[in-house]
């Protein structure tokens, strides 16, 4: 197996690993990461962080389920007064993000995984966005 990254360091790291691949982590980190340019290190450290590319989604009723078009982040915002709350939940990932009395919640989500919204109490002015992760296929277009 080889993946070309400029000077093919990844292929060299894999070749240096044990035949069964059990030592690939050490070979990968010393052969690839230590030899990348500063530009490549900056890019790699940003992979899966939120990009500048986002799409606005229509806010449905509480419990509405959305499917991520790519790896990225879901951001849900609104004006919350007194006893209101907003939240995001992903059964696929087994995680949730909820804020009682807060105005914004964010959650990372993998491509084709579902996220549902929740809200209640005194809330208004909803905004829901899918933010593509840096390096995701749709972020590059």
Residue 68: which residues within 8 A CB-CB, separation 6 or more?
Answer: 74, 109, 110, 111, 112, 113, 114, 115, 130
> HEC profile for the chain?
CCCCCCCCHHHHHHHHCCCCCCCHHHHHHHHCHHHCCHHHHHHHHHCCCEEEEEEEECCCCCCCEEECCCCEEEEEEEEEEEEEEEEEEECCCCEEEEEECCCEEEEEECCCCEEEEEEEEEEEEEEEEEEEECCCCCCCC
Domains defined for the chain, CATH in brackets:
9-46 (no CATH), 50-133 (2.60.120.1300)
What pLDDT does 111 receive? 92
This prediction has a pTM of 0.66
List, run by run, the mean pLDDT of 10-residue segments along the chain (141 residues): 36 44 51 71 77 93 94 90 84 71 84 92 91 78 56
């Amino acid at each position: 197996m080889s993946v070309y990254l400029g000077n093919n360091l990844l292929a060299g790291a894999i070749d240096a690993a044990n035949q069964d691949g059990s030592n690939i982590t050490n070979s990968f980190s010393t052969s690839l990461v230590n030899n990348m340019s500063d530009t490549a290190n900056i890019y790699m450290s940003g992979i899966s962080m939120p990009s500048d590319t986002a799409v606005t989604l229509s806010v449905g009723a509480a419990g509405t389920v959305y499917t991520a078009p790519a790896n990225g982040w879901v951001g849900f915002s609104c004006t919350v007064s007194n006893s209101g709350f907003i939240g995001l939940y992903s059964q696929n990932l087994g995680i949730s993000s909820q804020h009682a009395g807060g105005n914004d919640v964010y959650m990372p989500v993998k491509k084709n995984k579902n996220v549902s919204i929740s809200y209640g109490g005194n809330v208004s002015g909803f905004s829901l966005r899918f933010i593509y992760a840096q390096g995701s296929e749709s972020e590059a277009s």
